[in-house]
Structure 1
Amino acid sequence: MRHPPRSVLLAFAGTAALVAGALLPVVTAQGAAPACTVEYSVTGQWDAGFQTSVKVTNNAAAVNGWSLSFDFANGQKVTQGWNAKWSQSNATVTAANESYNGALATGASVTAGFVASRAGANAVPVTFRLNGTTCNADSGPTPTPTPTPSTSPTTPPGDGGRPPALRVLDNRFVDASGATRRLLGVNRSGGEFMCVQGRGIFDGPVDDAAIKAIADWKTNTVRIPLNEECWLGLSNIQPAYGGSNYVNAVKALVARVEAHGMTPMVELHWTWGQYTGNSAGCTDVHASCQKPMPDMRYTPAFWTSVADTFKNDQAVVFDLFNEPYPDRATSTATQAWQCWRDGGTCPGIGYQVAGMQDLVDAVRSTGARNVILAGGLTWSNDVSQWLTYRPTDPTGNLAAAWHVYNFNSCVNEACWNSTLAPVADRVPLVAGEIGENTCSHGFVDQVMRWFDARRMSYLGWTWNTWDCSTGPALISDYNGTPTAFGVGLRDHLRALNG
């Protein structure tokens, strides 16, 4: 999607199954107010791991910098976390504040979380220490776990258990049991532009409450647009917003999406390479706008790194490149599709292009078997020759991506029947972006009906608080209040999955 002008953005910037029926403990401190209290909640549990939320409340004098520690009793190991710097030495786990949440006034709280592995029992830690002071100390006997029912991971909408590993079977996505999975959800824009503009990493909050608000729409997938220069930490990116800081922020967001039972789709949106031809989004060589094709200089390295990061989690879907448009640079459709697949020296594009085959090869070279999406031409609105030019994938886990807005070319059922249906008969087809700039939802209603009739996948653009006629935007605030456009998607998903 072509984004709002920067002035508008600045105005708004400010494999294990969950044990069905299991009871997961939520521990809350009780009794007289101690120096600090800790609420430790196991929010998801499966055969080899679990996910936990930890809320810390400071009841003593204000502190500027905090560190929470506790001990595991059953050999559990923290594998990733968010909202704190998590580390572990033998049985002792430590969570230290991030730069943005180190100040804790009297009575203030902070919530962080983590995912951990386990080999059997999963006893709740007994003692918590904040800056060396024992928390819950005056609360009497060890708190009694309050059981909360778990949710089956096969539940399609979000806020269930961990999302399943996915694979392609014929023209469907399926989980380990062979059950068909549709990807229905939203885009969470921001990671593609905030960092390169020197304004942060995400546009608006991406904490647990913000992700829960997405799940409350009964979504089961969140697409996360990324920027290759920020991920790779190139010299033009402020260090606070690039490299390991950017990568860790993306990993934490992926973990939060999964903690709410939703499939994370990581997608490369903006890339390096100077293009000044037809329909150029900018003249900048840096990754500050949509380019017609990814570049050979950095994009294969980006996907090698992303695939290495997530290859052990096949719930994560890889969307190779947002909206190719080499057809605007070349004179024939054949040249455009050849450029799309093979890359190299493409007519009208002044940098060496990484074709879709190059990117599939980069992902698979890491051993990653994650599902891959490849969008077609004309800003992913044209898949008419996708089957003819589709890349070779040794795993068979390749699907087609398509985008549609009311102002595109292929916007009616006649076009969909003639160009989309043949592709969808052979491989899974995902409408990675659907939307309209009318502040209404009549067009996307039509799109969703056509895709529903064929049990296919779609995601609305975008879960950001922009002006819906400029963005367009699904929400007016990050609590999930829909715009006049977004209400169509929200009500439709709730009707499907409610």
Structure 2
Amino acid sequence: MRHPPHRSRLRLPASHLSPLRPFLATAALVLAGTAVAPGATATSVAPSCTVEYQTVGQWDGGFQGAVTITNNSAVMSSWQLTFDFADGQRITQGWSAKWSQSGTAVTASNESWNGSLGTGASISTGFIASWSGKNTAPATFKLNGATCTMDSEPGPTDPPGPTDPPDPGDSPPLLKVSGNKLVDDNGVTRRLLGVNRSGGEFMCVQGRGIFDGPVDDASVKAIADWNAGAVRIPLNEECWLGLDNIKPEYAGANYLAAVKDLVRRVKAHGMTPILELHWSWGEYTGSGAGCSDIHASCQKPMPNARYTPSFWASVASTFKDDRAVVFDLFNEPYPDRATSTPEQAWTCWRDGGTCSGIGYEVAGMQDLIDAVRGTGAENVILVGGLAWSNDLGQWLTHRPSDPAGNLAAAWHVYNFNYCSNESCWNSTLAPVAAEVPLVAGEIGENTCAHSFIDRVMAWFDERKLSYLGWTWNTWDCSSGPSLISNYDGTPTSYGIGLRDHLRALDE
């Protein structure tokens, strides 16, 4: 949904989580040069550049690397960084540079848009790579041919025990798709019923933090006390990937660490975490645009090919060993506002590429599924439709292929949407729900009441479908669907409807 001044589609403030850090190895590398005049005594000179290299996430067989280059010499119109891996690591994808590898030798060259590097300026880039046995940090870097030495420093690790949530009483189920149902490993049907926890999508890109409001154990327990069984967590791809337009304290390893910590807390209270990409890179100023910014500061019509597949490969690699975590690929696609025909819009939605009316190369839903499954992750994936996920009319016709068979449809509805009545739900949602699991990832109304969501929940309950209320944030419910007035779980007049309904359910 859109957020009040930072939202996704006329909707209220949308925030998107903060990640935890698998900060497994950090090496700060200083590239230094010396010059000696004939007959003169050698004197030290300032380093020609500085490189910081970090392993910000590592898992069995793969890791995510982050590199920050600072130019301490003359202005460069183009740059090329080279280094060697010592243990057979292989880069599989990267961003903010043109990455290539021959044997152990790795080269990162500037993109067309970030070639200029002024004196004192920095550029951040990153990659995903495979590893086996050991994952030693590179020992030597060269920038534009200048050899540099490494001044290594030990890197931090995951936060110690005191930051971890308590041991869970009831663990959330390990989910998979069976026909048109979500089931656990015992074959028992499960529904995702709960709330959205906005903040992780907008706070970091606005330079104000990672989450909006507390995400400590007490605040997460307050969600569980509503009898919620799932929490949808919006994310920002630039913050997760640690791009250089984000403040370092809210980016990369710090963001990952915060997100992972929230996921642990949600699970500790028996709830299913749903990780969702809310805001993404790409300049779009056409119909329905939420901003004119190229950066991930609002909802874009479609994911982009530059960063989004890398984002999902990293997220999936981080959580692929935990099928209690669900992936929601893209908050609210709306290519239909940019293209000329519904067929063009649905084709763009599934296949990506060059899409009419969208100025950047699009990553389609099939591209993102492939990025997730390419890591070996078999987690359940949610895929929203068109018109800010309110239109599922051709979802089945253009359904992407999922080799894991764990694909579900996502749908959003507010009282001001087009498909906001039972007639539309019967004609467009019911056929989808008959074939695949259907999850209403966002339901809400901007009236500060709950009569509309009461109707939505009744329709979904009758069919044993899933839904999550927008949003567990203390905003003004008269300007958008805010469920609470305090993070202790005190509901707004709108939130009372969801809270009392969830508590009355016998599941």
Does the alignment pair 1:311 with 2:320?
yes
1:476-487 correspondence runs (5 A):
476-487=485-496
Letter in structure 2 aligned against 1:336: A
Q: Which residue does the alignment assign to 1:364?
A: 373
C-alpha distance in structure 2 between counterparts of 1:230 and 1:294, whole Å = 15
Question: Residues 337 and 362 (structure 1 numbering): CA distance in 2 closer, same or farther, change over 3 Å?
Answer: same
Deviation at 1:471, TM superposition (A): 2.7
2:445 partner amino acid: E
From 259, 277, 282, the counterpart of 1:250? 259
* Correspondence 1:272-421 to 2 at 5 A: 272-421=281-430
TM-score normalised to structure 1 length: 0.71
Q: Which residue of 1 aligns with 2:152?
A: none
Q: Is the 8 Å Cα contact of residues 218 and 497 (structure 1) preserved in structure 2? A: no
CA positional deviation for 1:239 = 0.4
1:435-463 deviation per Cα after TM superposition (whole angstroms, max 9, x unaligned): 00000000000000000000000000000
Distance across 1 between alignment mates of 2:171 and 2:333: 32
In the other structure, the counterpart of 2:443 is 434
1:5 Cα deviation from its structure 2 partner: 1.6
Contact residue 441 and residue 488 of structure 1 kept, 8 A = yes
1:2 partner letter? R
Match of 1:238 in 2: 247
CA distance in 2: counterparts of 1:296 and 1:246, whole angstroms: 22
Which of 271, 275, 286 does residue 266 from structure 1 map onto?
275
| Structure 1 position 160, deviation (Å) | 4.6
Does the 8 Å CA contact 2:351/2:364 hold for their aligned counterparts? yes
CA distance in 2, matches of 1:475, 1:294: 31
* Farther-moved stretch of structure 1 (449-458 vs 467-476): 467-476
Q: Deviations over 1:385-422 (max 9, x none)?
A: 00000100001000000000000000000000000000
**Partner deviation per Cα, 1:78-110 (whole Å, 9 max, x = no partner):** xxxxxxx877xxxxxx948xxxxxxxxxxxxxx
CA distance in 2, matches of 1:470, 1:321: 24
Give the superposed CA RMSD: 1.8
**TM-score, normalising length: structure 2:** 0.70
Letter in 1 for 2:296: A
Q: Which residue of 2 aligns with 1:5?
A: 5
> Partner residue of 1:113?
164
> Which whole-Å CA distance do the structure 1 matches of 2:459 and 2:324 have between them?
26
**1:378 partner SS:** helix
Contact persistence 1:171–1:424 (CA under 8 A): yes
Find the counterpart in structure 1 of residue 39 from structure 2: none
Q: 1: distance between equivalents of 2:13 and 2:175?
A: 34
Matches within 5 A, 1:183-262: 183-262=192-271
In 2: Cα distance, 1:316 partner to 1:435 partner: 24
Pick closer, same or farther for the CA change 1:9–1:267 going to 2, 3 Å.
Answer: closer
Number of positions where the alignment pairs a residue of Structure 1 with one of Structure 2: 362
**Aligned equivalent of 1:171:** 180
Cα 1:284–1:465 shift into 2, 3 Å: same
- Which runs of 5 or more residues in structure 2 are unaligned? 15-155
- Checking the alignment, whether the CA contact within 8 Å between 1:323 and 1:378 is kept in structure 2 is yes
Letter matched to residue 3 of structure 2: H
Once residues 444 and 289 of structure 2 are traced to their aligned partners in structure 1, the CA distance between those partners, rounded to angstroms, is 22
User: Aligned partners of 2:482, 2:453: CA distance in 1, in Å?
Assistant: 13
Gaps of 5+ in 1: 11-84, 88-93, 97-110, 117-158
Which amino acid in 2 is paired with 1:391?
P
2:397 aligned counterpart, secondary structure: helix
